[in-house]
Structures are given as C-alpha cells and as structure tokens.
Structure 1
Amino acid sequence: MAGDVVTHAAEAAHGGLDLVPVVALLAAGTIAVPIFRRIGLGSVLGYLAAGLLLGPSGIGLISDPASVLHAAELGVVLFLFIIGLEMEPSRLWSLRKQIFGLGVIQVAVSGALLTGIGVLLGFAPVVAFVFGMGFVLTSTAIVMQILGERGELATPGGQKMVSVLLLEDLAIVPLLAVVTLLAPSTDDVSMTARLTSFGVAAGAILLLIFLGRRIMNPFFGLLAQAKVREVMTAAALLVVLGAALLFQVSGLSMAMGAFLAGVLLSTSAFKHQLEADVEPFRGLLLGLFFLAVGMSLDLAVVGENWGLIAISVAVYMLVKAVAIYVIARLLKSDHGEALERAVLMGQGGEFAFVLYTTAATSGLIDGPTNAIFTATVIISMVITPFAIIGMRYLMPKAAQSMDGVEEAHEMSGKVLIIGFGRFGQIVSQPLLALKHTVSIIDNDTDMIRAAAQIGFKVYYGDGTRLDILRAAGASTADLILICTDQREQTTRIAELLRDEFPLARVMARAFDRSHGIELVRAGVEYQLRETFESAINFGGAAIRLLGATDEEADEVIEGVRGRDRQRFELQLGGEDWRNLTQLLISNARDQAREGGVSIAEETADAAASQSADQTRGS
C-alpha cells in the first residue's frame, strides 16, 4: 500500500507542474533583495543580480527568460495602474509648475542630448532615440528610497525631484506609444487601414473614460455591499487587466490602458481599497519583471561590447548629470541642491527596461542591442550609490541664515537650557510658570525664529563649544539643563561642564539606559531617559483599560520604577546583566510574598520569563 502511494505521488510529480523554477525565482529574490538593500544597492539591483544568476548567462536554471518576461510584464501594468491612482487632478494642479515645467524641460533637454550622443556612438537615429529616452527615465525606486531614508521627501529640493520623477513616470506612456508607431511594418498598410486603426484606438480610449466615470464606481459600490474581500480583489484585478486588454486589442499599450484606468479612479471612494488589493500582485510581478530582465542580460554580448558599454555608461551619466545641474541652476536652485539632484538622478532606471523590451518585441532593436542598452542602465544604477558617497565630499557645507537670530553673549539667566526642541520646550514651562529667569541656546536657526513667533527668546549657540557655554552664562547659572537630542552631543556637553564648571549643577536628557550611565559618570546630577516616563504612563493606562484598579496600577508602576532604579544602580556599578536581573526578580518575589500582593508576584514571574528569553537570545 505504501509503495503504491509513493508510486502515484512520483507519477503525479512527474506529470504535474514543474515547481523548481518557481521555487528558484522566489528563493533568489528573497535572498538577494535583502542583501542588496543591506549594502545600500537597492532592491532593483538585487532582483537583477538574482535573475542574472538563474538565467542562461548564470547557472542556466531557466533557459527561456522571454517566457518569464512576457508574464512579468503584468507587473509593469499594475505598477502604472497604481501610479495612475496617485495622479489626482488636484495634486497634478498643485505641482503643475514643477511637473510640467521643470520635469518637461529636464526630460526634453536630457533626451535630446542623449539621442545626439547615441548618434555619435554609431547608432541609427531611431535606435539612438530609444536608447537616450530610456536612459532619461531615472530610477524611481532608487531616488525615492534615498529621499525617504533621509527624510527629504517633503523638502523643497525633494519635492522638485519627486515632481520630475512623476513626469518621467508619466512619460513612459507616450514613449511606449511612440515606440509602437516607430516599429517597422512588414506589410503595406493603406491609408484607410491606418485611419481605421486610429479610430479603433480613439474609441477604446473614449470607452474606457466612459466606463471609468459612469460604471466603475457603482460597480465597486455593489461589490462592497457584499462584504467579500476576495471578490473586491478579483474586481480590482479585473479592472486593471480588462483596461490593459482593451488597449492591447485596440493596438495600444497595455500599460497605457492600466494607467488611464488608474487616473479615472484616482478620485474614487474606493481608491485606497483598490491600491491595497493590487499592491501585493504589483510588488511580486514587478520583482519578477526585474528578475526576467536580469535573466535576459547576455553576458557574452556584454563581454564582446564592453568598450562600447563602458563609454556609454560614462558619457550618458556625465551628460545627463551636467544637463540636470545646468537646468537646476538656471531655474534658481543653489549649487548644493543642483549637485545633489544631478548625482541622484544621473542614472537610468527601471522604466528603461520596459521601453527597451517593448522596442525589442516590436522589432525596433535587436537582441544584442537590447543587451547593450540594458547593461548600460544596470551599470549606471550600480554606480549611483558610490557616486552619492563621493558627492558628500563635494557638497558645500550648509550655512544657516542668521536673519533675526542673536548669538549667545553675556547671558545671565538663573537656569540655562541647552537645546530647545520638543523636550526642551516642555521642560521650560514649569520653570517659567514659577518665574525663574531662563536663558536658552540652540543651534537650529529655523527653530529659533519659530520660537520667537510664540514669544520665546532663544539665542544661537553650539553647546559643545566652551566659549559659547561661557557666553551663555554657564559659570554663573544655578542649574544647567542639557535637552539636546543627539547622544554624542549631550555627552560632550556634560563632559565640558564637568571639566570647566565643576560646581555647576547639571541635569540631562538621556537617550537610553546606557547613555544615562554615561551621563552620570560624566558628572550629571540628574538624568532621565527621554521616553521612560511617557512609556510608564502609557503602560499604566493600558493595564487600567484591561481592568486593573487605580491602586493596582499605581503599585505595578511603582514596582517597575523601583526595579528600574535598582537595575540602573547595579549597572552603574558594573554588575552583570543576568546577575542583577535575577536579583531584581528575587526582590520582587520577596516583596510580593511579604505583602501578599499577587499582582507583584505575577510581575516578577513575567520578568523571569523575559529574562530567560533574553539570556537564550544572547
């Protein structure tokens, strides 16, 4: 019997779906992408490298990348649908000058220059146009990731880059249409047939607009009433793929159909639901698309044309970066902002693969040319993180405007506050309420001007400089409060005060427990972790909501505070973490047994369990 089961299972496996390539693709993506993101090269390059490894130029596990690429193109279709969902008319209107001004100028000028470079490199004008316009399309994934990590998406410079990226994302739609029109035709087509094709395409656009405005919202409203999640997901995919199919059979781009569907639904009440339903498929299929592009990269062709590729990468990146820099300077950006934009946006991007693949499919370029173009873009994307590192040495040091700001000079407040961010602003209020004379310094001129608007007099000064501390009155202040939010800066100020003003009483904001210990050893009289009290109160509110009485909650909170104090004192004395934790647990249980309080004993048991987990983890 067991032998029959094994035999049938083997036969089923033999005649069923071959899961080896599927598992290999998923494994390659899940391993390569985190590694590449960890080393700062981005997820797109991780997918490309994984695809290259699996493809014919690598271990050859997948011998037909084209079949994977055709299926993975749906990822681009879904990506453009989501971009369309973000294209609300109001947002486009608010950014119209940057999108349709700066964006159009940058794309047009860079595209013209790169097309000219392509002609000089020996490509036919049409092929050079495809090469240049593909390279113009900056990597949205790379630039958005960098801006997000820096927290610069909302800054003026970041907004300009986002606007240009938005215009480039929009530009892929007409570029795909242009590539289709430029594709060579093997048949003689009459004028009537051309007009008919144009009419069919126009009819498809009008039909989709009608469906989007009149039918889709009521349709999703009916489905929402059913409250079946999988039906809504299926409907979202139906809209995207249906719009793509409509445009495909009309002779237009699938991506253009999906994009237009997204725009039509950008103001819909179901916009966020649609985005949430489509996003997992978009991410998976777009990753598969990049894997397929990596598999399609022919290293033999790259090796044969390495000189042309190297020249193309160097010249295209340099020309594009110079064009971006000059345009930025002409439009009144300063040197630092223009240089940063030029370096961040000097590479080609993922939409170039879409354009080159479409051009190859339509017969506009051949396979080897596609491999050369794709390799050029990939190498430019690999170089970008290293170019950003080099840019740091060329960037001018940011100079703060001192308009409306006074530097610290002969200050004589009873209390000196160093740092006037969120923490310092709250700290100052009890002191001012009791009429203490307070002197405040900070090194953020924007914050100083903002504080002046609400009635606070804050002087400019860097607390890590001894001359500033003297000018701020550190030698005569009764109390000095260090409220800065940078760990190293706070410790440096505390050490300066200890060495130069040993009689000063100092309180400091600590980042965490180890920082608090550093500060005590640096001579600080009182320190408090910046989130400790808020977290304690938050936990107390949580157990009250779960049914604890006020007396029980107060007892538990006081127990937490007490054990924290003991742990801090023991760590300050150099005690081992495991020993001091076991000591605190033992003390807590003794207190529970003496007082007959079950909740304290339960707290000790929970602490013992957590300590065991931490011990195993270490």
Structure 2
Amino acid sequence: MRVAGEAVGHAAEAAAHGIDLVPVVVLLAAGVIGVPLFKRLGLGSVLGYLAAGLLLGPSGIALITDPGAVLSAAELGVVMFLFIIGLEMEPSKLWALRKQIFGLGIIQVTICGALLTGVGILLGFTPVVAFIFGMGFVLTSTAIVMQLLGERGDLVTDSGQKMVSILLLEDLAIVPLLGVVAILAPHTGDQGLLARFAGIGIALGAVLLLIFLGRRIMNPFFALLAGTKLREVMTAGALLVVLGAALLFQVSGLSMAMGAFLAGVLLSTSTFRHQLEADVEPFRGILLGLFFLAVGMSLDLAIAAENWIIIATSVVAYMLVKAIAIYVIARLLKSSHGEALERAVLMSQGGEFAFVLYTTAAAVGIIDAPTNAIFTATVIISMVLTPLAIIGLRFAMPKSTQSMEGVEEADGLSSKILLIGFGRFGQIASQPLLAMRHSVSIIDNDTEMIRAAAQIGFKIYYGDGTRLDILHAAGAGSADIILVCIDNKTNTTRIAELLRDEFPLAKVMARAFDRGHAIELIRAGVDFQIRESFESALAFGGEAIRRLGATAEEADDVVAGVRERDRQRFELQMAGGEQMAGRHLLISNAEDQAREGGVAVDPEQVEETVANSTHASAPV
C-alpha cells in the first residue's frame, strides 16, 4: 500500500510539472458544446466559436488568461485554410481571375480605404492615424468570409469567386501597407530607407524561392514520401510544406497565409493534391475554430466599456461606410442587387490582418497603446457582428433551404455501380442498368428530388459528389463503374479529377455539356463522355429529313456521316487543332452543298475558299 501511495504521489507530481491540460480540455469542450448549439439555433459556427471564446476569456469566466498566446498559435488555422484554397486555385484558374483580383480588388481596397480614412479624420484622429485605422479596417477577415462561404457551398459560385479574389488582393495589400507604416514611422533616416529596400528584396527573393521549390522540388518530394506507403509520413510532409512556406514568408516580412496560399497554388496541379487536402483538412478545421475562439477571448470588455462611445461610433461608422461602398462598387460593376448586398454584408468587417498592421504601427510609434486597444476592439466587435448581420440578411432575403426530413445520407454503400446525379439525364441513364437488374447506388444533393423519387420506389442517398469523403462513403472505392450525370460543368470536372486521382481502377462515364467540356473531361481521365444533347439532336435532325422525303436508309446514312465528321473534328481538337477542325468542318459542308446542287467538286477551289474564310473555327 505504501508503494502504491508513493507511485500515485510521484504521478501527481509529474503531472503538476507536465503539460497543463486544463486549457486544452476547456477549449475542446467549448467547441464541442457551443458550436453545435449555435448551429442548431441557426446562428452559425463562427458566432458559436466567438461567443465561447468571449465566455472563456479574461472578460468572461477567465479560464484562459492569455488569449494572445492562443491567437498566435491559432493563426495557423488561417494559414492552413489558405493552403487548401490555394489547392483549388490552379494557375490557369488564378490567371482567369486576374481581372477580378487586380481590378475589382484594387478598386474596392482603394475606394474603401479613402472613405474610411475620411471617417477616421471626422472622428478626430490625425490624418496619419486615421489612415492606419481605415486601411486596417479595409482588410476583411479572410477566415470569417471563407468559413461562411464554405458552410453555404458558395466558394465555387461566381459571387463567391469574386469575394475570394478581393480577399486575395487584400491579403497581398498587407505587404505594401507595412511598407507604408515603416515610411510613416517617426525618426527614420537613410539607414531606415536602406533597410526597407533590403526588406523588399528579401520578400521578392522569398517568393521566387517558393516558386522554384514548388515547381521543381515538391512533386518529387511527395512522390518519394508516397513510396513509403505510410500515411503518417505523407501527413507530416503536407504539414512541413504548409508550415515551411508560412515560415519562409514570415521571416521575409510577408504574410504567413499568403505563403501557404502560394504553396497550395503551386501544388494545385500535382497528382497528390487531393491527398494533401485530406491530410491538412482536420488540422485546418481544429485550428481555424481555435482562431475564432481566440478572437472572442481577445475582446477586452473593460476597454470597450471605458471607451464605449468612440468604439461604438467607430464600429457603426466603419461597417456602414464600408458596406455602402462595397455595394455601390458591386452595382456599378454590373452585379445584381442580391449579390451586391450579400458581398457588402459579408465583407463589411475588419479582419485579422488589421491586428498585424495596428501592432506594427504601435511598435514604430505611430499610435500609442490605448489607441491600438481601441482599434483592435473595433475590429473584433465588427468580426463578432458579421455572423449576426448575415442572419439578418437571411431573414431579409431568405434563401430556400433543403429539409433533410425523410432523406438518408450516403454511408457505407458498396454497389458495383455508382451513379452521381439523378436529374433528367441520370434518371434515363439508370433505366437500362435497372432493367438488367444491376445493383446501383445513386447519390444526389437535391432533397426534394430524393423524396419524390422515393414515392415511386427509387432509393436515392443524399451526398455531394465533389467531396472526397462522400465518394468514399458512397462506395466509389469498390465500384467497377461510376456514372457522373450532374448538370454542372465545373463540378463534373472536379468529380472526374477526384475519381482519376483517388479511384483509378474504376471506369468513369460522364455527362458533358458541350464539345469543350467533353475535351476537358477526357483530359481529366474519364473513360467515356457524351454531350448531353448530341444524340437527341442527331435523332431530331434525322427525323426532320425523313419528314421532308428522305428514306429511312438515306436519313441513317446522313446521320452516320454527321456523326463521323463530328468524331474526326473532335479528334483534331483533342490534338489542339482548333483551326484544322474548323477547316475540316467547312470543307465537309462545302462538299456536301456542292453535291446536293449537282455541282462537280473541285477540292482545290474548296480549300482556297475555306482559306479565305474569316470564320474557320470549330463550333463547340
């Protein structure tokens, strides 16, 4: 008994000098209890994290007394979030968004910055301090907006892509803004100017180094790790890349999040992209939730109470002016009222990079500590208010939401045939399979259609085929053939890429929207594709010429000829011969018309006519 007592005593002593698990357990409990509660109340996960953080922090029950330390660690959640966004942004997609990033983004940052600087001057701050206050507030919270867009599935929509573009530009803007802070800092001489130029050179060097590593080193690196066939090694490699890129940019004076984003972009075309996303996602979710908890804990209610007039006035004025400016800019650039209003509400708050800007300004003497506290409280309160503003927008402009009543989610399915999408196309495609008594697992994300199908005897499971975890749950890993029958071009291609990378043994058939999409799908690895209206249009045209007097045999021959010429043009376009395909089409049509008119065909004359045509481009 004495020995056992001593052992317990030694264990207790070791625990006392070991890791303090109380904060960890408290933070996990806050996330596990508070967030589902707020979600159930329809208030959203972000507001749940913020409220839980406020409760646990110094202004609440003070279980966490150092929110700054938690916030520093939790910023890695934003870093990993930007890495995952980068994985979705292939260089071609990023290039396609260049006008929105450097056009819409610069317009919004410039105009909002000027207006908010003016608001700061009207509130009594000096022009320099007002500029710092306003430009910090311009930098919208990437974490909050991305989280809200992700929860609603709007990241891939046109409206979502515009907001992502603006956020990227705002994240880039922190770099020149920190340079401006250094210029505005008092008592800077030639040595300070030289140091700033050196800092710019180091920053450019870091960008070039990361691009070199991403293009030359990362793919062979992950291929080597994949050869070990150890999942934990791949996970460690993914974290090494994310945190290494963040560290490189941090020591170079740049944003950690932008370093991770650039690393993601460089790996977006890698065959390991989806594996990297799956490895990083759990850490991203936990750390991003911790970030929101830390923001809630950082709100000092004592400072807010002491300076409540200036803080309340600043929050209302800054959020209102910024929202109005964003709305007007969006409307002038041809966005709809609903899209412009949604963007204005979502992006009306300040963000996490404002803390960086204000802290730097305080460190160089532009603002003092009390002013920094007021600015920081203003931004935090605006971040807390944003989910509430979204709830208000939801009531003002309600969107139809899907009820899950009577709908079963895909989980543990194992049929040899998986059909994704049960719209008009999928319903018809499934009938031959069911007629041959094949076992087919069907998933769709339209709950109304699922319930309607159930009434006539179809068992459809709820699931989004663009998500890797759903594909696993739907049995893609054991399926012999997968039919992608959805009507969204972007999502169809994404599913095809996921299937190619994660389930290479399954045969994949896909519904294509048009010729260009069909080519895209073949390059994404599908085994068979068909344009959704091609065969029906051929049948339609064939019936038309029958009704005009053609025999059934003649009509069949004509349709077969059209199909063969289409196949030839398609193969030319697959090889990159757009103009050749167009010339082939015009020559074929010219020859057909000449024969119909009983005219002898001169191939050289046809070639010359086509060569002089200004419209020799193949249709899609």
Question: Which region of structure 1 is more displaced relative to structure 2, 307-316 or 337-346?
Answer: 337-346
Supply the AA of the counterpart residue of 2:5: G
How far apart are the structure 1 equivalents of 2:75 and 2:217?
27
Q: What's the CA shift for 1:175?
A: 0.8
Deviation of residue 326 (structure 1)? 1.6
Which whole-Å CA distance do the structure 2 matches of 1:282 and 1:362 have between them? 33
Please list, as runs of the form range in 1=range in 2, the aligned pairs for 1:155-234 lying within 5 A after superposition: 158-176=157-175, 178-179=177-178, 182-183=181-182, 184=185, 190=191, 193-234=195-236
For the aligned residue pairs, the C-alpha RMSD in angstroms reads 3.9
The answer (yes or no) to whether the contact 1:114–1:133 under 8 Å persists in 2 is: yes
Q: 1:177, 1:252 within 8 Å by CA — same for their partners in 2?
A: no
| Equivalent of residue 52 in structure 2, options 42, 50, 59 | 50
Deviations 1:300-323 (A, max 9, x none): 110011111221122112212221
The 10-residue stretch of structure 1 (266-275 or 368-377) with the greater mean CA deviation from structure 2: 368-377
Give the whole-Å Cα distance in 1 for the aligned partners of 2:296 and 2:174. Answer: 22
Can you give the 5+ residue segments of structure 1 that lack an aligned partner in the other structure? 399-420, 431-484, 488-508, 513-527, 537-541, 547-618
- Residue 15 of structure 1, CA deviation: 1.9
What does 1:293-442 align with in structure 2 at a 5 Å threshold?
A: 293-353=295-355, 355-356=357-358, 365-388=367-390, 391=393
CA contact (8 A) 1:33 1:47 kept: yes
Specify the alignment match of 2:455 in structure 1. 530
Query: Would the aligned equivalents of 1:511 and 1:529 in 2 still touch at CA under 8 Å?
Result: yes
Correspondence 1:61 to 2:63: yes
Whether the aligned pair in 2 keeps the contact of 1:176 and 1:253 (CA below 8 Å) is yes
| 8 Å contact from structure 1 (residues 41, 382) kept in 2 | no
Question: Structure 1 counterpart of 2:257, which letter?
Answer: A
Point out the more displaced range, 253-262 or 230-239: 253-262
Cα drift, residue 352 of structure 1: 4.2
| Equivalent position SS for 2:60 | coil
The answer to whether the Cα contact below 8 Å between 2:181 and 2:360 also exists between their aligned partners in 1 is no
Deviation of 1:11 (Å): 1.5
For 1:198-225, what per-residue CA distance to the aligned partner results, in whole angstroms no more than 9, with x for missing partners?
A: 4433333332222222111111111111
- Match of residue 506 from structure 1: none
Give 1:449-528 correspondences, 5 Å limit. Answer: 511=451
Q: 1:319 is aligned with what amino acid?
A: V
Q: Describe the superposition over 1:100-131 as per-residue Cα deviations: whole angstroms up to 9, x where unpaired.
A: 33333222212221122122222344443343
Q: CA separation in 2, counterparts of 1:72 and 1:510?
A: 40
In structure 1, distance between residues paired with 2:88 and 2:188: 40
Equivalent pair of 1:293/1:353 in contact (CA under 8 Å): no
Which whole-Å CA distance do the structure 1 matches of 2:356 and 2:371 have between them? 14
On the 8 A contact 1:138/1:165 being kept in 2, the answer is no
2:73 to 52, 71, 74: 71
Distance (Å, rounded) in 1 between the aligned partners of 2:253 and 2:352: 24
Which residue number in structure 2 is paired with residue 473 of structure 1?
Answer: none
Q: Give TM-score, length-normalised by structure 1.
A: 0.59
Residues 237, 315 of structure 1: alpha-carbon distance in 2 compared, 3 angstrom cutoff: same
- Does the 8 Å CA contact 2:86/2:262 hold for their aligned counterparts? yes
Aligned residues of 2:23 and 2:64 also touching (Cα < 8 A): yes
* Percent identity between the two aligned chains: 70
Alpha-carbon distance in 2 for matches of 1:279, 1:424? 33
Q: Distance in 2 between matches of 1:252 and 1:397?
A: 39
1:353-384 CA distances to partner (integer Å, 9 max, x unpaired)? 56556656776655443443343334334444
Match 2:130 to one of 117, 128, 134: 128
Residue 91 of structure 1, CA deviation: 0.9
CA separation of 1:362 and 1:63: change in aligned 2, threshold 3 A: farther
SS in structure 2 opposite 1:226?
A: coil
What is the CA distance between 1:21 and its match in structure 2? 1.5
Return the offset for 1:340: 3.8
Report deviation, 1:135: 2.8
Change in Cα spacing, 1:213 to 1:530, as seen in structure 2 (3 Å) is same
Deviations 1:150-171 (A, max 9, x none): 66666xxx51343133321342
Cα drift, residue 193 of structure 1: 4.6
Question: Shift of residue 255 of structure 1?
Answer: 3.4
Q: What is the deviation of 1:179? A: 2.2
Contact 1:176 1:355 in 2 (8 A): no
TM-score by length of 2: 0.59
C-alpha distance in 2 between matches for 1:360 and 1:38? 41
Q: Distance in 2 between matches of 1:397 and 1:77?
A: 31
Cα distance change on mapping 1:363 and 1:3 into 2, 3 Å: farther
Q: Which moved more, 1:272-281 or 1:378-387?
A: 378-387
Q: Distance in 2 between matches of 1:425 and 1:27?
A: 44
CA distance in 2, matches of 1:97, 1:121: 35
385-394 or 31-40: which moved more? 385-394
Q: 1:397 to 1:77 in 2, by over 3 A?
A: closer
Determine which structure has more spread, i.e. the larger CA radius of gyration.
1
- CA–CA separation in structure 2 for the residues paired with 1:305 and 1:393: 32
Distance 1:198 1:535 in 2: 57
Aligned residue pairs: how many? Answer: 423
SS of the residue corresponding to residue 22 of structure 1 reads: helix
